[in-house]
Amino acid sequence: MITESFSSTAAWMQIQAALTKTSSSTILLGILSVGVLVLAIDYAHMLYLYTRMPPGPLPLPIIGNTHLLPDVKPWIYFEELAKQYKTPVITFWIGRNPTVWICDAWAASELFDKRAGIYASRPRMVVFGELGTGQSNLVTMYYGARWRVHRKLTHLGVGLQQVRNYQGFQNDESKVVAYNLLRTPEKYEVHFERYAASVVSIIGFGRRIASTDNPIISEVLAIMQRAAELNVPGKTFPMLMETFPFLAKFPNEIAPWKHGLKSGRGMAFYYALAEEAANNLEQPQSYSKKLFDEAPKYDLTPDEIGSLAGNLFGAGSDTSSSTLVTFVLACCAFPEVLGRAWEELDRVVGSKRSPNMEDEASLPYIKAFVKEVFRWRSVAIIGGQPHAPIQDDVYKEWHIPKGTWVQGNVWAIHHSEKEFPDPDRFNPERYLKDSPDFRPFPNERGYMTFGWGRRVCSGQGLAEQGTFLTVARLLWGFKIEKARGADGKEIPVDIFDYTNGLNMRPQPFKCRISPRSTEIRDTINREGEEALERLSIYDGETRYTLSKFYKGSVKGK
C-alpha cells in the first residue's frame, strides 16, 4: 500500500517536472522567437534605409559597419570608400545608426552652407555629448532657442567685430613668439602653445600667460587633445558606446569603459576662472566680465558660463598652435616655396620692422601661403562636431533622415585631385588666381577648415587673423629648415606622421630656426621688448590650476 502510494507520488512529481520543463522551454522559446522577430524587423528597417540613403557598405544586424572601422585615421578610409563607390557622399553604419560622410567640397557647400537652416543641429552623441558637456555647451547643444543665446554670447567674445579689436595684443604676442624663438628655437612647439593660450586667456580672463611652464598650457591642451580623441569613430571603448548606447547607462562604479568620462568635468574649472576674472577689478575688461554682466538677463547657469568661457580655449589654443606646427613642417618639407615669400616680404616690409595686418593686401603670396597652411593639413580634420538635419532631407536621389549623424570629411575635401592637384604637395600658388594651379572652389576662402553654415567655428576670425600675423612674421624673420644629424646631413621629415585625434597635429620633429639677417634679428629683439612692455598690463596670476582644482586643494571647491 505504502509502495503504491509512493509510486503514485513519484509519478506525479515526474509529470509536474516534465510540465514545468515544458513550460520553461515554451517561455524561453517564446522569448527567443520575439527576440528574433524584433531583430528581423529592426534589420529590415536598416536595409530599407540602406536602399534609400547614399551608398556604402552593407550593414550587419546590430553592429552595422563598426567592425570595418580602421584603428587609426578613419577619415582616410572614408575617403577611399567615396572613391570606391564613385560618390561624393557615403553612408557608414555605426551600430544601428547610419552616419553620412561628405567627401566633396561642392556637396558640403550644398548641404551645410546652402541648407544651413536644415543642417544646424547635432545628432545624439553618447560619448562627447551625453557623457560630456551635454546641453550646457554650444558645441554639443541641439539647435534651438538656447543655442541661439549661446551663439550670441559667443560673438561677444570672438565675433568678427571683436576680433578686430584684438589685433593689438595678438600682434604683440606674435612678436613675443619671434623674440622667444631667437633664444630657444628648439622649443618652437611650446612657444606656439604659450602664444595661442595667452591670446585666448587675455580675451577670456584679462590675463596673459607669460611662461611656457604655466600649467594652464599643458593641462588645458591635454584636455582638448583628449576631447579630440573622443570625436573619432572607433570600434574600441569609449567610442564603442556609440554603437551600443545602452552601455552608457551602467553606473560608473561597474563600468570601466566609462573611466575618465564625467559630464561637465571641465566646466566647473572654467567657471572658477571666469568668476575670478569677473571679480578682479584691477584686470582689464574681459569676456568673463561680459558673461557675468549678461548672466541675469539670460538666466545663465554656472555650467553654461563655464562652457562659454572654456570654449575659447577649445576654439583658439590647441587648434592655433597645431596650425603653426604644421606651418613649420611645411617649410622644412618644401623649402622651394620660401624664396618667393622672402622676396615679397623684403620688397614690401623690409628689415626694420615686421609685417602686420595692414600689410595683408600688399602680400598676396603670403596670404596664399597662409591659406595653403589651412588647406594642406587642416587641424579639425573632420570639420569639428557632426551636423544633423532638423527634418528629413533629400540630396540628389538620396534620403537623409532627420537626426542623422552627418560629417564633413575635410581630409577628403582638401585632398581632392579635382580642386587640388597633387594635394600632398604644399603649394601656395593654388590660391593665386593668375596661377595655372588655381582651381575653382565653392567658397571664397578656398578651404573648409573651420566647418560650415551656422555651426562654423566661432573662433575662425581670430584664428585666421592670428595665423596670418604669425606666419607672415616668422617667414619674414627666420630661415626654417630641416635639422641636421651628427654627420651633417639633413634629417628627413614625414609629412604624414600626424596624431589620430579630431584636432590633428604633427608628431614631434626637429628643425633649425635661425634669423635671416643680423638686422632682422635686431628688429625682432627690439619689437619683442616693446611688445612685452605693452603686454604688461595683462600680467597677473590665477590661484586655480586644473589638477589642484579637482584635487580639492582650493578652499571651498
Q: How confident is the model at residue 265 (pLDDT cuts 50, 70, 90)?
A: low
Measured distance CA(514)–CA(182) in Å, rounded: 7
pLDDT tens digits, residue range 360-416?
999 999 999 999 999 999 999 998 899 999 999 999 999 999 999 999 999 999 999
Confidence of residue 263 (pLDDT cuts 50, 70, 90): low
Confidence bin at 318 (pLDDT 50/70/90) = confident
Which residue shows C-alpha cell 515554451? Answer: 26
Q: Could you tell me which of 237, 313, 260 has the C-alpha nearest to residue 132?
A: 260
d(CA 480, CA 503): 24
Q: What is the pLDDT of residue 406?
A: 98
Task: Give the cell for residue 296.
Answer: 541675469
Q: Where are the domains of the chain?
A: 2-52, 124-372+382-392+432-551
Report whether 457 belongs to an annotated binding site: yes
Contacts of 454 (CB under 8 A, 6+ apart): 116, 117, 120, 143, 151
Q: Say if residue 557's pLDDT is above 60.
A: no
Lookup: cell for 461: 576670425
Q: What is the pLDDT of residue 10?
A: 61
The three three-digit cell numbers of residue 333, written as one number: 618639407
Q: What is the DSSP string of 237-254?
A: TTTHHHHSGGGGGS-GGG
Residues in the chain: 557
Distance between CA atoms of residues 464 and 370, nearest Å: 8
- Give all strands (DSSP E) within 404-528, no chain letters: 405-408, 478-482, 511-515
pLDDT band at residue 35 using 50, 70 and 90 as cut-offs: confident
Residue 286 has pLDDT above 50, yes or no: yes
Beta bridge partners of 391: none
Strands of the sheet containing 97-102, edge to edge, are: 89-94, 97-102, 405-408
Q: CA 90 to CA 82: how far, in whole Å?
A: 6
Give the mean model confidence (pLDDT) for residues 199-212. 94
Q: What is the domain class of 124-372+382-392+432-551 according to CATH?
A: mainly alpha
Per-residue pLDDT, averaged over 327-352, amounts to 98
> How does pLDDT run across 327-337, given as a tens digit for each residue?
999 999 999 99
Q: Cell 538666466 belongs to which residue?
A: 299
What secondary structure letter does DSSP report for 356? -
| pLDDT at residue 7 in the model | 55
Asked if residue 454 lies in contact with residue 117, where contact means CB atoms within 8 angstroms, the answer is yes
The SS3 call for residue 395 is strand
DSSP-derived letter for residue 70 is -
The answer to whether 442 and 377 are in contact (CB under 8 A) is: no
- Residue 419, CA distances (Å) to 89, 135, 365, 412, 441 in order: 17, 37, 19, 11, 7
Q: Is the per-residue pLDDT at 61 higher than 50?
A: yes
Residues 103, 90: contact at Cβ < 8 Å? yes
Per-residue confidence (pLDDT) for residue 552, from 0 to 100: 60
| Cβ contact 329:493 at 8 Å | yes
Q: How far is CA 377 from the centre of its chain?
A: 13
Q: Tell me the backbone φ, ψ of residue 45, rounded to 5 degrees.
A: -65, -40
Helix (H, G, I), strand (E, B) or coil at 418: coil
| pLDDT level of residue 259 (50, 70, 90 thresholds) | confident
Q: Which residues contact 305 (CB under 8 A, 6 or more apart)?
A: 270, 271, 274, 275, 291, 292, 295
pLDDT (0 to 100) of residue 554: 46
How far apart CA 550 and CA 557 sit, in angstroms, is 8
Of 203, 155, 239, the residue nearest 460 (C-alpha): 155
pLDDT digits (tens, 9 = 90+) for 445-493: 999 999 999 999 999 999 999 999 999 999 999 999 999 999 999 999 9
Read off the DSSP letter of residue 508. P
